[in-house]
Structure 1
Amino acid sequence: MEVETLCLIYEKTTVPVPKVRAWGLAANNPLILGPFIVMDFIEGVSLSDVLKDSGRLSSRLIRPDISDHKMAAIYAQFAKIQLELFQLDFDKIGNVPSAKTRYTAYDHPLTYKGHDIMQTGGVNCFSDRNIPILATQAYFEHIVSQDWKQLRQQRNSVFGPNDARAKYACLSVLAANLPYFINTEFDRGPFKLICDDLGLSNLIVRGEDDVTIVGVVDLEWSYVGTAQLFATPWWLLQARLNLWSAEYDEESPKIADRFLQYLRIFTQVLEDEEKKMPSCRQRLSDLLKWSQSSGAIWLHMVLSCGFNFDDSIPFTRLREHIGRDKWEQQEKAFSDSNDIEAFVAQKVLQLKQYNKDYEHLQQKRTKVSHSGP
């Protein structure tokens, strides 16, 4: 998909992606090094390295000493890129059309979230990828079904019966509220080019002192998706808000406030750049403003990641937008259902067997490590 995405952007826009010179599968690689893409080299440095706080080894969070003026200049450049990409229209959700590679493009996209659930949780949640998805709500329901499958099939997806009940009720409420976060203008298209991890870390700039964007790279998690997802700049801080617990992380209020501050800056520069591009047929700034006022921005962040915890910043903000009392009432209704007890009983058995298997595996490892040569 990355080959298709790079070629499409290179041919249809002025976005500075590298030109693909050659590509192939592992079987076609004479060096036997796996699948490959040969593309032009872009001279410069990673914007992520310029911006990130070097004191946070496990996070790309932008360091606090960078001025709002500098961030506005960076956002304005990225806004131009996004506005160009937003003009590319597609008639259905799925993988990017295979104009170059000629490989079969499944109707269900290969997303970072689906891959993460499979790689980390050991659960294949892609189901039948040949069933077309033609509307935003249907796609959101499909995404939530992936969370359900991970929760049900990953044996250690809960810590115990109480956690099982809480996660079942929380996911049930989330699914029940999806219809209230659908933008009717874009519900059935046109659909847009989405890259799950496209953000500031994908940008190449001239240098540490010159943050002019000269390249956009690493677009492997690209597909055709609902326009609503395009209007969710989760990348404003470089790091996802899903990483912070609103309940347990002391710095989460500052992180959330800083995100909202940057969101205001980006919304303004996006609108300013849009006015300079009279050829824009569809206003991304309007969709971004709707995403904020409707609360859909928080839903999009939750849906885009697997293994969500319900006290993350996006989940907490979503719950506040719906209303805490309403959310708790709906959770109670689902908690009192007959289905939840069967689910809890199943998860307790799964967890017990998982812990037994894990202990057995650890004992085998200990024996091997002490056996010696």
Structure 2
Amino acid sequence: MKEKISSLKTYFDEIEETNGDDECRAWLDKVFDAKLELATFVAARRGKGRATEYVGFLKGSFNFAFRFKFSDGGPDAIIRFPKPGHTATALRDEKVTNEVQVMEYLRQNTTIPIPYIHSWGLTVDSPHQFGPFIIMDYVEGVLLSKVLKRPTENDQEEMVLDPNIDNAKLNKIYHQIADYLLQLSQLTFTRIGAISKDGDTWSVTKRPLTYNMNELATVAGYPGDRFPTSPFDRASDYLKSVSREHLVHLWTQRNLADDSEIARGRFVARNRFPQLISEHCVDDAGPFILYCDDLRPSNMLVHPDTLQITAVLDFEFTNAMPAQFTYDPPWWLLLSGPELWLDRGSIEEFLALYEPRMEQFLQALEFVEGVSAGGKQNLAAPRLSTRMRDSWSSGRFWFNHAAKKGFEIDVVYWAALHKEGAGIELLDDDTRAELEPFIETKMEQLRAYNKECTARFS
């Protein structure tokens, strides 16, 4: 199976994805028609100055925003909505509520540059019930990913770190982000899930809402009633829930296997994952650390001349999580994740590119830790840089990446977690007995899916 790793790349359900795109386009038409009404709404919620100019719009993978200028001379403001079809309808209010709570908490407890929030509300509070919204200051800057990426001919080319980037430039960026991650590593909770404030006390009160859950809900046909509904008290319980999520995905998404061999490879990978929990789970009883699934250069703004980070954006999938996620070296050091290279069957190429940048980042983190310790800041032992080195050398990095990336678990398992044999022999008798019926089910699903695609797209 290892020689066919690239065939295990997980594709979205094209029908689900198209349905979501259609829903989003119809929604955008209505939002643009209400642009002037939204300007008045933003001005009223902002509470000072009238809206004098529509500046433009901003769009990302999950969110869409209008930018307006105001008569009081203050910063421009944006109103940002999660895009229906790209964020599951059932998750939109929850996503925005969680993000606002996290942004307030981070403004109180870190020096991470967070845009100022003027107002926010749920779907019921928005004009025409367009969806939950956040009204916040617009922050000047360019996307950090654009500053760091290799020059490309067009936006369709894969985004990867410029191999010729100046090391001094990269070090300046790494030192800032290392400082942010060090601060985040010290924000601990007693449970796993979304945080909220009761009086002056912050705690975990709700289930974790993750990046992967939203992907499954929008582009895999995943049943929403199979997601967890409450927080977790132990890391192992959370990881077992994730393993069940991977298995439900395996059985649910109809186009997950093009042939019986691919079906077999995915079956082994996703049934082996829970067997690896005891080996890779650390700090089972906590404390648990605030972790953002999507903290990366694509969600950071930077001054193009000084390289000072001016804002960190998009905290909607931030939760108190197993500490071991925080203990991983950043997966985004090459801008794209390792799956870009694993999908080509080239883990060796990834390692050759990634490890030098990882060492550069860890040296930046060690410098930041030294400055913090010199300032009498109490840093837990072992230090974060030491834990990151251990995560990498032990292979826990790959286990954690598979836990967080439900669309990549199969290729990660066969490239980095599987050790020897066909894998099926490592499963128990009851699980092995499910294999052939599973393959038959996936082939039946695929035939029905292909028939529906032909009718829909031909």
- TM-score normalized with structure 1 length: 0.85
Q: Which stretch has the larger CA shift, 7-16 or 132-141?
A: 132-141
After TM superposition, the structure 1 = structure 2 runs for residues 51-62 of structure 1, keeping only pairs within 5 Å, are: 51-55=148-152, 57-62=156-161
CA shift for structure 1 position 125: 5.6
Aligned twin of 2:276: 177
Letter in 2 for 1:129: P
Larger RCO of the pair (alpha carbons < 8 Å, separation 6+): 1
1:195 paired with 2:195, answer no
For 1:220 and 1:243, locate their aligned partners in 2 and report how far apart those are by CA, in whole Å: 24
Aligned twin of 2:437: 342
Q: Which stretch has the larger CA shift, 89-98 or 336-345?
A: 336-345
> SS where residue 379 of structure 2 aligns?
coil
- For the aligned residue pairs, the C-alpha RMSD in angstroms reads 2.5
1:278-330 deviation per Cα after TM superposition (whole angstroms, max 9, x unaligned): 32432322321221121101111122112226445x751333xxxx32xx254
> SS where residue 342 of structure 2 aligns?
coil
Quote the sequence identity (%): 30
Q: Is the contact between residue 4 and residue 98 of structure 1 (CA under 8 Å) also seen in structure 2?
A: yes
Please point out which of 2, 5, 12 is paired with 2:109: 12
Letter in 2 for 1:346: T
> SS where residue 127 of structure 2 aligns?
coil
1:237 paired with 2:334, answer yes
**Richer in strand (by share):** 2
CA shift for structure 1 position 231: 2.1
**Where does the alignment leave 5 or more consecutive residues of structure 2 unmatched?**
1-97
Aligned twin of 2:322: 226
**Where does the alignment leave 5 or more consecutive residues of structure 1 unmatched?**
367-373
For 1:126 and 1:7, locate their aligned partners in 2 and report how far apart those are by CA, in whole Å: 30
1:323-342 deviation per Cα after TM superposition (whole angstroms, max 9, x unaligned): x32xx254334397212122
For 1:275 and 1:5, locate their aligned partners in 2 and report how far apart those are by CA, in whole Å: 27
Aligned twin of 2:127: 30
For 1:136 and 1:315, locate their aligned partners in 2 and report how far apart those are by CA, in whole Å: 24
Letter in 2 for 1:16: P
Please point out which of 362, 369, 372 is paired with 1:274: 369
Q: Is the contact between residue 298 and residue 315 of structure 1 (CA under 8 Å) also seen in structure 2?
A: no
1:217 paired with 2:316, answer no
Q: Is the contact between residue 402 and residue 409 of structure 2 (CA under 8 Å) also seen in structure 1?
A: no
Aligned twin of 1:371: none
For 1:348 and 1:31, locate their aligned partners in 2 and report how far apart those are by CA, in whole Å: 44
For 1:345 and 1:292, locate their aligned partners in 2 and report how far apart those are by CA, in whole Å: 38
> SS where residue 97 of structure 1 aligns?
strand
For 1:242 and 1:47, locate their aligned partners in 2 and report how far apart those are by CA, in whole Å: 21
Aligned twin of 2:390: 290
CA shift for structure 1 position 31: 6.7
Please point out which of 110, 115, 129 is paired with 2:214: 115
Aligned twin of 1:260: 355
CA shift for structure 1 position 23: 0.4
Q: Is the contact between residue 61 and residue 238 of structure 1 (CA under 8 Å) also seen in structure 2?
A: yes
- TM-score normalized with structure 2 length: 0.70
For 2:319 and 2:368, locate their aligned partners in 1 and report how far apart those are by CA, in whole Å: 25
Q: Is the contact between residue 83 and residue 280 of structure 1 (CA under 8 Å) also seen in structure 2?
A: no
1:361 paired with 2:447, answer no
1:63 paired with 2:162, answer yes
CA shift for structure 1 position 128: 5.5
Count matched residues. Answer: 349
For 1:107 and 1:43, locate their aligned partners in 2 and report how far apart those are by CA, in whole Å: 34
CA shift for structure 1 position 93: 0.3
Q: Is the contact between residue 4 and residue 99 of structure 1 (CA under 8 Å) also seen in structure 2?
A: no
Letter in 1 for 2:191: K
Aligned twin of 1:370: none
1:153 paired with 2:267, answer no
